[in-house]
Chains A and B, each alone.
Chain A
Amino acid sequence: MVNPMQIPSTGLAAGVEGAVLKADVRDLDFYYGAFHALKRVSMPIHDHMVTALIGPSGCGKSTLLRCFNRMHDLYPGNKYAGGGIVFYPDNTNLLAPDVDPIEVRMRISMVFQKPNPFPKSIYENVAYSLRVRGMRNKNELDDRVESALKGAALWNEVSNRLKELGANLSGGQQQRLCIARALASDPEIILFDEPTSALDPIATASIEELIIELKEKVTILIVTHNMQQAARISDYTAYMYLGEMVEFGVTDQIFIKPQKKATEDYITGRFG
């Protein structure tokens, strides 16, 4: 295990007042086979804030996101090669080999690019993350499912058809169902991997609104291709390019007065 204390902090934690560190990426190196996907990436994740990862395709932003809940463990050939993600308050490196990925995923949930409801009823989709934790009590399940669906602003639309298949919902509703599923187990961080790229503008707006509301409850890390989206919903923004962290900062600063020329070029659309 990489001892978090041995990894020097990046000192990037400053910014919005009262921000508390939830996780800290420190000098993270990651490979897909021989491809160096993340090069000594460092950035802080603040508690109850929305942090957006932006950058052109292939810059490593999704790779970084998926490191947070160890999705790379599912595929052979992916290699974590140095540094780490220190998770607070545990002060543990999430990527350490002796940390159980199942435990990590129980606390850091994820919503994907394309809505991927399970071939189950709406109710069972949301209850899934509770059932995998061994919850069997019907009343408790009912309560948690209801509050998760309310949290995902979906309850009013589906309360009278919980037995229907999740796949029968519209695209935007399916995505909110997936958010409810991620919420049900009270995770500490929810990772969003371009959650609106398969949705129409109206559904996108409702998801964005929801994400802003959700930061009351959880810390949010979101990958997006849409810079306006990052500007609208995030408190912090990180711009990545070719596997490197180019610039990290408070969103307003990044968009109004970026420190680096490369960031400015990307944000103003001169590149990417």
Chain B
Amino acid sequence: MSASASAPPLSASIGAGISDRLSKKASRHVKERIIEAMLFAAAAFSVFVTVAIVYVLVKESWVFFQTVPLSDFLFDTQWTPLFDDAHYGIMVLLSGTLTSSAVALVVAIPLGTIIALYLSEFAGFKVREIAKPFLELLGGVPTIVYGYFALTFLTPILQKIYPDLPGFNLLSAGLVMGIMIIPYVASLSEDAMRAVPMALREGSYAMGATRLQTALWVVTPAATSGIASAYILGISRAVGETMILAVAAGMQPNLTFNPAEPGATITSYIVQVALGDLPHGSIGYQTIFAAGLTLLLMTLAFNLLGYWLRKRYREVY
């Protein structure tokens, strides 16, 4: 070993020793590379699928918009793509989607938030351990079951209160959809609240605050970003929900914001047409893609809103 005059001999010899040992571990290096590549492939796959879906939607919608002007699509007040006198006003389907989603959110957001507050701040350990699986079970019920629950159980009850209610209506479907969404809102909000550090709660209690004051004035503001994400997820679920509406809301395109009427939503329309026997490439077939693209843009907008809310109100404790 030759130590140069400038470099101290000791460190030079240590350096040589380390490089000897390192060279024998090259196999681990290769293994890590392989694992890294696999992880990347998995991540890339999901991106690829998303891009592919968007590509198909945009491509088919492009063909659709060659025939139907965008202004008709946006502003026409009728949606009758399968009739001889065809109209393509997406507003009709959009009104159904918005009305049913609004009904669902009126149920899910308050109830979900209250349940989250209770489970996170008031319930004892045992109650939480029992209640949470049940709550999550509610989210695991197949939506077709919810659909028939709305049609055959809730609608007759509502008709007793409000006899003019038609057998198919957005109200009943929306209410049941709200029940379906509760677990998502409650579970995610509760996670956000539980993530608030105990030190903040102790600070609040030490000032003489009650449990309710601590929950509402300290825990909830500290968990705002997580709760906002929970709401956004709930909204996305409501907007994208299909089966309940297809079964209980009637699938009749109807430009209305009155939940006591039947209506079709974007999703239930897609089901209706996809189940029919429309030839590929026909204009009726392409409406599916235009409607699907609209839906995608809506959920994308909500996701962006959720992302912005998370950044804006990120936890500052």
Binding site for B on A (CB under 8 A): 69, 71, 74, 76, 102-103, 105-106, 109-110, 112, 114, 116-120, 128-129, 131-133, 165, 167, 178, 181-182, 185
Contacts and interface: CB of A to CB of B under 8 A. Distances in A.
A185 B125 contact: no
Nearest to B197: A116
B222 A118 contact: yes
Given A74-B201, A118-B222, A185-B207, 13 more contacts: A74-B202, A76-B124, A102-B208, A102-B210, A103-B208, A109-B206, A109-B208, A110-B202, A112-B202, A129-B207, A132-B204, A132-B208, A132-B210
Contact of A112 (B203, B208, B217, B316): B203
B203 A106 contact: no
B138 interface: no
9 contacts: A74-B202, A105-B205, A110-B202, A112-B199, A119-B200, A128-B207, A128-B217, A129-B207, A132-B213
Interface of B: 124-125, 197, 199-210, 213, 217-218, 221-222, 315-317
Given A116-B200, A131-B217, A181 B208 contact: no
Contacts of B209: 102, 128, 132
B193 to A, nearest CB: 13
Contacts of A109: 206-208
A181 B201 CA distance: 14
A71 B199 contact: no
A178 B203 contact: yes
Contacts of A185: 207-208
Chain B CB within 10 Å, residue with most, of A103, A114, A128: A128
Chain B CB within 10 Å, residue with most, of A69, A106, A129, A132: A132
A119 B199 contact: no
Contacts, number: 75
B208 A71 contact: no
Given A165-B316, A167-B317, A116 B199 contact: yes
Contacts of A114: 199
A167 to B, nearest CB: 5
A182 B207 contact: yes
A61 to B, nearest CB: 17
Contacts of B316: 119, 165, 167
A129 B208 contact: yes
Contacts of B213: 132
Contacts of B125: 76
Q: List the 9 closest pairs (A to B, CB-CB), nearest first.
A: A106-B208, A110-B206, A129-B207, A105-B208, A116-B199, A132-B209, A116-B203, A119-B222, A167-B316
Contact of A128 (B197, B204, B222): B204
Contacts of A76: 124-125
B200 A181 contact: no
Contacts of A178: 203
Contacts of A112: 199, 202-203, 206
Nearest to A74: B205
A173 to B, nearest CB: 15
Nearest to B315: A119
A175 to B, nearest CB: 12
Chain B CB within 10 Å, residue with most, of A76, A105, A185: A105
A132 B203 contact: no
A118 B206 contact: no
B287 to A, nearest CB: 47
A127 to B, nearest CB: 10
A178 B204 CA distance: 11
Contact of A118 (B205, B208, B218): B218
Contact of B221 (A69, A106, A119, A133): A119
Contacts of A133: 208
B206 A71 contact: yes
B202 A116 contact: yes
Chain B CB within 10 Å, residue with most, of A117, A119, A132: A119
A193 to B, nearest CB: 10
